[in-house]
Amino acid sequence: MSENRKKEITSTPTQYQSLYADIKQLITQARSSVVKQVNQTLTVTYWQIGKRISIDILDSNRADYGKQVLPKLSQQLSDEFGKGFTYSSLTRMVKFYKAFPEQTIIATLSQQLSWSHFVELLKLEDVIQREFYAHMSHHESWSVRTLRERMDGMLFERSAIAKQPEKVIRQELAKLEQPQTASLALHLKDPYLLDFLELQDNFSEKDLENAILHKLEHFILELGSDFAFMARQKRLQIGGNDYYLDLLFYHRKLKRLVLIELKLGEFKPEYKGQAELYLKWLAKYEQQPDENSPIAILLCSSKDKEVVELMELEQDDIHIAEYWLQLPPKEVLQAKLHKAIEEATLRLGFGDE
């Protein structure tokens, strides 16, 4: 009997592996859930501490008292609870409360973001930048490392939405919580940073395309995590002619095909006709019933802003963007952004608000 039982056990390794995998998954999920709950509780607690200190001490008429009591409070808390309550930690909690004064927002963001995320966000002095990175981190499930990389790469300054007034930016950020109204502007950039391509001088459009395909993973990270590669040099048979679009992607959240055309020089008005032709072909032959209309991204080394604005290409689902092979000084990019915001504010009539 024991031998038969032994044979029965050893003869079903697949069942055992399945059992082990299921139990392992349960343990892993439980641990992940516990860590997430601990992080959320810590974050909310730090916010509450910052609020209490800010209201009871620093924002009252007892500033001198606050200067005296904060070091004492830090020392006593550190002695009892450890190094997480140093003087600098307490002042960071106060800054945390002042940067995010609404508890409902903290309750929502802390479901996805850890205290380490907020420490990175507090480095940003600009309120709208901080809101942008907080919402995007929550929506895209960025790790702390990814958040830091996006900030270092000046993602906000390069996003299409950054050129709009703050009122419009906040409206677009609110749409992140409504998948059916996903904002196109939040998923497009201008410029795109292609410093990872390591191209030499005097490269051709073919060299640019080959370099992108060679570093496709890096390129998709620059485009955004929801872009999926579909084809290169896709052949379009139109009438008696063959056309080839450079790159074809699909955006999962937007549910749209995205064609990308690569141009070496400055944007030229005649590029519009080519893009429109490709978009109409994709809409007719490739677009699925549950998808939205295709969009085009024309990547050029430069563009005349007035020409692009006069052509009103965005309403035709054509996005003109520059590509940069190296990131310029932050001051240069911020100056361009400030000028673009001023122009957009005047154009949209927000100047008197």
C-beta separation of 50 from 118 below 8 A = no
DSSP 8-state assignment for residue 198: -
Across residues 296-323, what is the average pLDDT? 91
Across residues 298-312, what is the average pLDDT? 90
Average pLDDT, the chain: 85
Tell me the pLDDT band of 120, cut-offs 50, 70 and 90: very high
* Residue 240 reports pLDDT greater than 60: yes
Spatial distance between the Cα atoms of 321 and 328, rounded to a whole number of angstroms:
16
Percentage of the chain modeled with pLDDT above 90: 46
Q: Is 36 helix (H, G, I), strand (E, B) or coil?
A: helix
Q: What is the pLDDT of residues 68-98, one digit of tens each?
A: 788 888 999 998 988 889 999 999 999 999 9
Which of these ranges, 25-34, 59-68, 84-93, 182-191, has the smallest mean pLDDT?
59-68
Spatial distance between the Cα atoms of 306 and 327, rounded to a whole number of angstroms:
24
Find the farthest-apart pair of alpha carbons in the chain and give their distance in angstroms, rounded.
90
* Residue 53 reports pLDDT greater than 60: yes
Spatial distance between the Cα atoms of 243 and 238, rounded to a whole number of angstroms:
7
Q: What is the pLDDT of residues 26-46, one digit of tens each?
A: 888 888 777 788 888 999 999
Across residues 42-57, what is the average pLDDT? 89
Structure tokens at 120: 């990175």
Spatial distance between the Cα atoms of 260 and 250, rounded to a whole number of angstroms:
11
Q: What residue ranges do the domains of the chain occupy?
A: 1-113, 195-324
Structure tokens at 131: 């809101």
pLDDT of residue 56: 78
pLDDT of residue 227: 93
* 222 Ramachandran zone, left/alpha/beta (phi>0; psi -120 to 50): alpha
CATH class given for the domain over 195-324: alpha beta
Structure tokens at 344: 């957009």
Which amino acid would we find at residue 128?
A: I
Percentage of the chain modeled with pLDDT above 70: 85
- Please classify residue 242 by burial: count the beta carbons closer than 10 Å to its beta carbon, then call 0-12 exposed, 13-18 middle and 19+ buried: exposed
pLDDT of residue 134: 94
Tell me the pLDDT band of 260, cut-offs 50, 70 and 90: very high
Spatial distance between the Cα atoms of 167 and 183, rounded to a whole number of angstroms:
14
* Residue 129 reports pLDDT greater than 90: yes
What separation in angstroms does the CA of 312 have from each of 91, 318, 350? 48, 9, 20
